[in-house]
């Protein structure tokens, strides 16, 4: 039986891991900053050794891309320093660190094809830099690791593009959405399922590597918004396409962040849902929750 620590358990991804492992034969322990501050090395080491943790699934992250420009030291502490602590602890306890990273580690190069795992990291802002530093810390420590890079994550929980659009649509507000940033929406429930399946599969225990995972297909944020409106039948919502330049920002967001998933499909045998179908599943879960008796 594995002893698995899941950090950031109250975030989008962490909540889905909790749901998926509720009946697992393995011992999952869930923490957030209120129960374990992973920026504190002694606290991390003590927790891992006391509970004999075999696997850490690190779902904790500083993800406010704009605010990271003002709080890069805070983002660095969570996205890089804390990751080093977790890697150190797994190295000492001969365990595996499963870490979630981002497409924002790229962005500084003009890609016109899906980005591969071995493409050079080249972030354009503080958030991407700190996430890159987290990955580099894992490599430097030399623990067993699995890194899953993803992008455009959404779910029924927290703050994300899907829930923001649904709120704006329900309020009947017009909105402009950029069409010159291209990627693939990723349902957190799908990524959580991949992570849990890999962690619990004995054939892949001891496997190291970086893997890209996002929904199948490609779209712009504008396309994503239009599909949300279509599936929620909020067709009277006024959605207009616009350029990124119409929203001046200190952050240069990746204009093309389509991730190549060939490696994860071939190596881990993962089947990836088309992003439109995954969105339908998520919206179905939202509707079910809304219709449940209080």
pLDDT tens digits for range 152-180: 999 999 899 999 999 999 888 888 999 99
Supply the pLDDT for residue 205: 67
Supply the pLDDT for residue 294: 53
Catalogue the active-site residues.
127
Cβ atoms of residues 26 and 2 within 8 Å: yes
Bridge partners, 147 (sequence order):
99, 210
What fold is seen in the domain 3-159+185-215+256-273? Rossmann fold (3.40.50)
Enter the pTM of the model: 0.95
| pLDDT at 263 exceeding the cut of 70 | yes
237-260 burial code (b ≥16 CB/10 A, e <16): bebeeeeeeeeeeebebbebbbbb
Bridge partners, 259 (sequence order):
115
Supply the pLDDT for residue 137: 98
Residue 209 corresponds to which tokens in the numbers above?
A: 């590597």
| pLDDT at 46 exceeding the cut of 90 | yes
Under DSSP, the state recorded for 114 is P
Supply the pLDDT for residue 63: 94
SS3 203: helix
Enclosing H/E stretch for 27: strand 27-30
Lowest mean pLDDT among 111-115, 124-128, 233-237: 233-237
Burial class (CB in 10 A: 0-12, 13-18, 19+), 74: middle
């Amino acid at each position: 039986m594995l002893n698995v620590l899941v950090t950031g358990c109250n975030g989008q991804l962490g909540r889905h891991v909790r749901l998926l492992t509720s009946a697992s034969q393995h011992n999952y322990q869930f923490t957030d900053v209120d129960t374990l501050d992973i920026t504190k090395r002694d606290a991390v080491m003590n927790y891992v050794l006391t509970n004999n943790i075999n696997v850490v699934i690190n779902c904790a992250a500083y993800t406010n891309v704009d605010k990271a420009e003002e709080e890069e030291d805070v983002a660095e502490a969570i996205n890089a320093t804390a990751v080093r602590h977790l890697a150190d602890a797994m190295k000492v306890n001969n365990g595996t660190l499963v870490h979630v990273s981002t497409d924002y580690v790229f962005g500084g190069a003009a890609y016109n094809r899906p980005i591969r795992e071995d493409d050079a990291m080249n972030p354009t802002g503080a958030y991407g830099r700190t996430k890159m530093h987290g990955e580099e810390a894992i490599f430097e420590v030399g623990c067993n690791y699995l890194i899953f890079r993803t992008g455009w994550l959404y779910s029924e929980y927290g703050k994300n593009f899907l829930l923001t659009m649904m709120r704006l649509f329900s309020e009947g507000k017009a909105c402009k959405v950029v069409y010159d940033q291209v990627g693939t929406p990723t349902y957190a429930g799908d990524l959580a399922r991949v992570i849990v399946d890999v962690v619990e599969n004995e054939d892949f225990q001891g496997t190291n590597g970086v893997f890209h995972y996002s929904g199948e297909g490609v779209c712009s944020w504008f396309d994503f918004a239009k599909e949300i409106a279509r599936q929620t039948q909020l067709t009277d919502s006024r959605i207009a396409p616009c350029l990124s330049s119409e929203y001046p920002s200190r952050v240069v967001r990746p204009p093309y962040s389509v991730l190549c998933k060939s490696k994860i499909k071939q190596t881990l045998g993962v089947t990836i849902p088309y992003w439109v179908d995954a969105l339908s599943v998520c919206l179905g879960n939202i509707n079910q929750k809304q219709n449940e008796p209080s």
